[in-house]
Chains A and B, each alone.
Chain A
Amino acid sequence: MMAAGPTPAGSPGGSTVVAGPAPGGRASSIPLLGRGHEPTVFEFSSEGRRAWSFRTTGLPEWEAADVVPAEWLREEPVGLAEVSERDLVGHVTRLTHRQYSVDLGAYPLGSCTMKYNPKLCDTAASLPGFTAAHPATPAPLVQGWLELLWSLTDTLCRVTGMAAATLQPPAGAAGELTGLLLMRAYHASRGEVRHKVIIPDSAHGTNPASVTLGGFRTVTVPSDARGLVDVAALRQRLDEDVAGIMLTNPNTLGLFEENIAEVAAAVHDAGGLLYYDGANFNAILGVTRPGDMGFDIVHLNLHKTFAVPHGGGGPGAGPVAVSPRLADFLPGPLPTRLPDGSFGWESPPRSIGRVHSWYGNALALARAWSYILANGADGLRRVAEGAVLNANWLRGRLRGVYDLPYDRPVMHELVASTAGLKKATGLRALDVAKRLLEEGFHAPTVYFPLIVEEALMIEPTETESPQTLAALADALIAIAGDPPGEAAHAPRSTPVGRVDEARAARTLLPTWDAVAAHQAAAQARGAPS
Chain B
Amino acid sequence: MNVPEDLRYTADHEWARLEGGQVRIGITDYAQDALGDVVFVQLPEPGKGVKAGESFAEVESTKSVSDVYAPVDGTVVEINADLGDAPQRLNDDPYGEGWICVIRPDDTGALSSLLDADGYRKLTES
Interface residues of A (CB under 8 A from B): 446-447, 450, 453, 501-502, 505-506
Closest 5 CB pairs of A and B: A502-B37, A505-B39, A447-B63, A501-B62, A506-B39
- CB-CB under 8 A from A453, the residues of chain B are 34
B124 smallest CB distance to A (angstroms) = 12
> A506 touching B88 by the CB < 8 A rule?
yes
Q: With A and B bound together, what is the CA distance between A446 and B61 in angstroms?
A: 13
A460 smallest CB distance to B (angstroms) = 23
- CB-CB under 8 A from B62, the residues of chain A are 501-502, 505
Could you write out 11 A-B pairs with CB less than 8 Å apart? A447-B63, A447-B64, A501-B37, A502-B38, A502-B88, A505-B37, A505-B62, A506-B39, A506-B40, A506-B87, A506-B88
> B64 touching A450 by the CB < 8 A rule?
yes
Q: With A and B bound together, what is the CA distance between A446 and B88 in angstroms?
A: 22
A205 smallest CB distance to B (angstroms) = 9
A509 smallest CB distance to B (angstroms) = 14
Q: With A and B bound together, what is the CA distance between A135 and B91 in angstroms?
A: 54
**Listed residue (A450, A453, A502) with the most chain B CB atoms within 10 angstroms of its CB:** A502
B125 smallest CB distance to A (angstroms) = 12
- CB-CB under 8 A from A502, the residues of chain B are 36-39, 61-62, 88
Q: With A and B bound together, what is the CA distance between A506 and B36 in angstroms?
A: 13
A30 smallest CB distance to B (angstroms) = 23
Q: With A and B bound together, what is the CA distance between A12 and B71 in angstroms?
A: 47
A506 smallest CB distance to B (angstroms) = 5
**Listed residue (B36, B39, B61, B87) with the most chain A CB atoms within 10 angstroms of its CB:** B39
**Chain A minimum-CB-distance residue to B65:** A205
> A505 touching B40 by the CB < 8 A rule?
yes
- CB-CB under 8 A from A450, the residues of chain B are 64
**Chain B minimum-CB-distance residue to A428:** B36
Q: With A and B bound together, what is the CA distance between A468 and B99 in angstroms?
A: 49
- 16 extra interface residue pairs, beta carbon distance < 8 Å, beyond A505-B39, A505-B40: A446-B63, A447-B63, A447-B64, A450-B64, A453-B34, A501-B62, A502-B36, A502-B37, A502-B38, A502-B39, A502-B61, A502-B62, A505-B37, A505-B60, A505-B62, A506-B88
B39 smallest CB distance to A (angstroms) = 4
- CB-CB under 8 A from A447, the residues of chain B are 63-64
- CB-CB under 8 A from B39, the residues of chain A are 502, 505-506
**Chain B minimum-CB-distance residue to A508:** B39
Q: With A and B bound together, what is the CA distance between A453 and B62 in angstroms?
A: 14
Q: With A and B bound together, what is the CA distance between A506 and B61 in angstroms?
A: 10
A314 smallest CB distance to B (angstroms) = 24
